[in-house]
Structure 1
Amino acid sequence: MIPDYMDFACTEIVNSARASAYAERYCLLTDCAPCPGLAEAISDLPYVDPVTDPAPWYDSAVPESASFLGVMGLTASGFSQSTITRSPVQLVGDGAALGVARRAHREITYTVLLLVLEECALAYALEWLSAALQGAPCEGSCAGDELGVFACCPEDGTRELRHLYGVGLLSGPQLTGARYVEEGIIAEVTFTLAAAVPFIYREPLETLTNWVTLSAGTTVSVDPDEVYGECEEAEPCLSDPLCPPPFLPVRAPVPVDDCYPTGVASFYRNVVSLSPVDQPEWLEAVPVLELETGGTALRRLVVRFWANPLGSTCMEVADPCAACTDIQIPYLPAGSKLIVDGRTQTAEVDCPSGVSGTSTSAPTLYGPLGGAFEWPIFSCATGLCIEILSTTATTAPDARARVLLVPRSDVG
């Protein structure tokens, strides 16, 4: 990752192009060459000065903020190493049991320059940086925030953009040195962030970015739970019919909501497809479901993922045993917005509350046959057919949904 840009909790922290433009205007630095096209990639106009633009740190109530010229990135470490760890257990004899591989959190250390025109501006710059690195203002969440960086100097601002989630400040910022020149002060600062989610995510694949109007789908009468019921597991080939193995202890049943709806019903069926050639071959990918219920409450939503390695027409996918998994939700209120995010493995519903407010709740997610839900991870480029089923009786004309597929990696 390049150190020239960093957006944290929707606040621009590091922008070498902005800092260089301001510094050149005030003759503080004249030999910097940040990534060309950085401002264009993030849709910024040509930089003038902190007051005119205005810069993210500029505060009309703090006059010295106008003398703070920005944060220039020097180094960013922690992106290029895998977080996979494993603890082998030594056997009594030779060798060891490898144990389960897992990914630890990711630690990211930045070294940056604060460019200021005078001492009071340096004090404010440190105050602002410390506050901005605390995360989203006024929320105080311990779950962390989103971090946006570029893998290389951007050309279009999308292909090179990367995201990390569950990020929070681990240590710093710490002032490690300052150089006083005639035009101002160049201060060096370090800080370290920790990402609870260790993966580095790309932008969603462009093939699946369009919204689908649910009521525009094909009307079908179907019991979605019957799909998995048609598939039988193969019998183990070493089972001896004359000497059956002992019965295993009975497992606790998987809890299912008493109100979970079953049976044949009339559904709107919408299908979107992803060709194997549009999916990165060596990267895992996770889905992100977004849905708006519109004017009426929506009951019994089913989003099903089908493997489609041959790139067949998705409306003709006939093998029920090729279904990978489901996201099933029994009820969503009218006017609500749902997001089921495989990047952070969280689900939220924003519902209307009061005259103009909203409330946020975590919906109950079910998997195949109404059982336990597991977060889908697609580890290879098999191609996908994504089927969205919603009951015709409860689907509003303005209800819409889309499913994004987001590639991820362990290093970047």
Structure 2
Amino acid sequence: MNSARASVYAEAYCLLESCEWCPGLPEALDDMPYVDPVTDPAPWYDSAVPESANFLGVMGLSVSGFSASTLSRDPIQLVGDGAALGIARRSHRELVYSVLLLALDECGLSYALEWLAAALSGAPCEGSCGGDELGVYACCPTGDGTSQLRHLYGVGVMRSPQMTNVRYLDEGIIAEVTFTLAAVVPWIYREPLTTLTGWVDLVDGDLVTFDPDEVYEDCVEGTPCLEDPNCPTPPLPIRAPVPVDACYPTGSAEFRRSVVALSPVDQPEWLEAVPVLELEAGATALRRLIVRFWANPLDTDCTEVADPCAACTDIQIPYLPAGGKLTVDGRTQTAEVACSEGSLGAGSSTPILYGPQGGSFEWPIFSCPTGLCIEILSTSATTAADARARVLLVPRSDVG
């Protein structure tokens, strides 16, 4: 939906008067000056469908659903007076759009409705039960538009396009259409912080020798002070065991250690953030990858931060195939390894993620501007010369 493009086309055909719809939008989208659907060509123009040239675009009227938080909670009434507050949770986000379809004739309008329905159905020729990514500008963009760009994930049609009003003019047709999208991930994400966009060559990391299991031996949990040694508390019922990485290493080994830092002053003060890990295994299979996060509120030298007991969390992966490309995405809380399958193209698999000591993994969320030290460890013997990784940090909010 590009109101600036639609406005130019409509003015050229005298369908609408000139409007200043975000003059910086073409530059932000890296578009040339708009001329007409065929010359440009417009995203909906199809040389195999002649009537597509008579569709002049989509112009936005209104949208709702961005400015309201999806956070809610249902207090649970107690048997006596009062209630338990209950757990706060965020539901899916519903986005209700009202737009204008601009066409030169009824054939163009018919195609516009077909195209809009197809565009809203998801990525062409792919389709996904998980939905798609939606990119929007929070306000009129300036420059490359990066600071105004927002992203939503798991987006799909909830209510298909419905035409609510049609105006026939001498110059063409203006149809008002509404539709509703649903985003199963309720958060609204910004672009990643630019401080952490660089790749790290893993083979250039410092060579260190340590036992990943041994470093946790001194991490002792405090004993409750109210425990009576003469009358111990009855044991709790046995819980189902948590799956542990069967290949979690024991004994010392040589690792390549790379460290990247994020200063507290580079984090938004009022927005929480989530990490996105990207890694390319390179020419050989990589066995044992550990990515560890520390808070660093004093902005100290990250090469001196090494206490595993103080780490926020680990991301551990036992194995990545040669040529594999790993993405661990905190925005959608999904992980994927894409790998080449020769002439059949690329395949993808979902890796199992482990946490500290090969235990259960929890998706990290950084809610305060504490700064970060991020340690990337890979076994030296299996780290290819062309292996590389980067960690992005993406701010988010639940309104926008």
Quote the residue 1:87 is aligned against: 74
Aligned partner (choices 94, 99, 115) of residue 128 of structure 1: 115
Q: Distance in 2 between matches of 1:173 and 1:225?
A: 56
Q: Which amino acid aligns with 1:215?
A: V
Report how far residue 259 of structure 1 moved.
3.1
Quote the residue 2:103 is aligned against: 116
**Identity of paired residues, percent?**
76
Deviations 1:3-53 (A, max 9, x none): xxxxxxxxxxx0011111111111111142211201111111111111111
Quote the residue 2:168 is aligned against: 180
Quote the residue 2:21 is aligned against: 34
Matched, 1:263 2:251: yes
Deviations 1:97-147 (A, max 9, x none): 111111000000110111111110000000000011000112221110000
Report how far residue 257 of structure 1 moved.
3.6
Q: Distance in 2 between matches of 1:65 and 1:28?
A: 17
Q: How does 1:156-195 map to 2 (within 5 A)?
A: 156=143, 157-195=145-183
Matched, 1:152 2:139: yes
Q: Distance in 2 between matches of 1:147 and 1:411?
A: 15
The answer as to whether partners of 2:248 and 2:357 remain within 8 angstroms in 1 is no
The answer as to whether partners of 1:162 and 1:201 remain within 8 angstroms in 2 is yes
Report how far residue 408 of structure 1 moved.
0.6
Matched, 1:388 2:376: yes
Quote the residue 2:334 is aligned against: 346
Q: Distance in 1 between matches of 2:85 and 2:183?
A: 26
Note the residue ranges of structure 1 that are not aligned, 5 or more in a row: 1-13
Quote the residue 1:274 is aligned against: 262
The answer as to whether partners of 2:245 and 2:354 remain within 8 angstroms in 1 is no
Quote the residue 1:61 is aligned against: 48
The answer as to whether partners of 1:149 and 1:162 remain within 8 angstroms in 2 is yes
Structure 1 outlier segments of 4+, above 6 Å: none
Quote the residue 2:125 is aligned against: 138
SS in 1 for 2:10: helix
Matched, 1:49 2:48: no
Q: Distance in 1 between matches of 2:94 and 2:10?
A: 30
Aligned partner (choices 362, 365, 376) of residue 364 of structure 2: 376
Q: Distance in 1 between matches of 2:379 and 2:69?
A: 44
Note the residue ranges of structure 2 that are not aligned, 5 or more in a row: none
The answer as to whether partners of 2:151 and 2:190 remain within 8 angstroms in 1 is yes
Of 128-137 and 22-31, deviating more is: 22-31
The answer as to whether partners of 1:230 and 1:320 remain within 8 angstroms in 2 is no
The answer as to whether partners of 2:212 and 2:249 remain within 8 angstroms in 1 is no
Quote the residue 2:3 is aligned against: 16
Q: Distance in 2 between matches of 1:148 and 1:227?
A: 43
Q: Which amino acid aligns with 2:191?
A: E
The answer as to whether partners of 2:296 and 2:370 remain within 8 angstroms in 1 is yes
Q: How does 1:204-223 map to 2 (within 5 A)?
A: 204-223=192-211
Q: Distance in 2 between matches of 1:262 and 1:19?
A: 63
Matched, 1:73 2:48: no
Q: Distance in 2 between matches of 1:53 and 1:261?
A: 57
What TM-score do you get using the length of structure 2 for normalisation? 0.97
Of 46-55 and 28-37, deviating more is: 28-37
The answer as to whether partners of 2:8 and 2:18 remain within 8 angstroms in 1 is no
Q: Distance in 2 between matches of 1:121 and 1:281?
A: 49
Q: Which amino acid aligns with 2:229?
A: P
The answer as to whether partners of 2:97 and 2:180 remain within 8 angstroms in 1 is yes
What TM-score do you get using the length of structure 1 for normalisation? 0.95
Q: Which amino acid aligns with 2:22?
A: C
SS in 1 for 2:146: coil
Quote the residue 1:10 is aligned against: none
Report how far residue 356 of structure 1 moved.
5.6
Quote the residue 2:286 is aligned against: 298
Q: Which amino acid aligns with 1:406?
A: V
The answer as to whether partners of 2:291 and 2:376 remain within 8 angstroms in 1 is yes
Q: CA RMSD in A?
A: 1.2
Quote the residue 1:244 is aligned against: 232
Q: Distance in 1 between matches of 2:263 and 2:287?
A: 30
Count residues in correspondence.
399
SS in 2 for 1:127: helix
Matched, 1:365 2:348: no
SS in 2 for 1:179: strand
Q: Distance in 2 between matches of 1:61 and 1:15?
A: 23
Q: Distance in 1 between matches of 2:216 and 2:312?
A: 10
Q: Distance in 1 between matches of 2:321 and 2:381?
A: 14
Q: Distance in 1 between matches of 2:60 and 2:34?
A: 17
Aligned partner (choices 397, 406, 409) of residue 385 of structure 2: 397
Q: Distance in 2 between matches of 1:401 and 1:245?
A: 48
Q: Which amino acid aligns with 1:359?
A: G
Q: Which amino acid aligns with 1:201?
A: Y
Deviations 1:77-115 (A, max 9, x none): 000001012111112222111111110000001101111
Q: Distance in 2 between matches of 1:373 and 1:104?
A: 23
The answer as to whether partners of 2:54 and 2:108 remain within 8 angstroms in 1 is yes
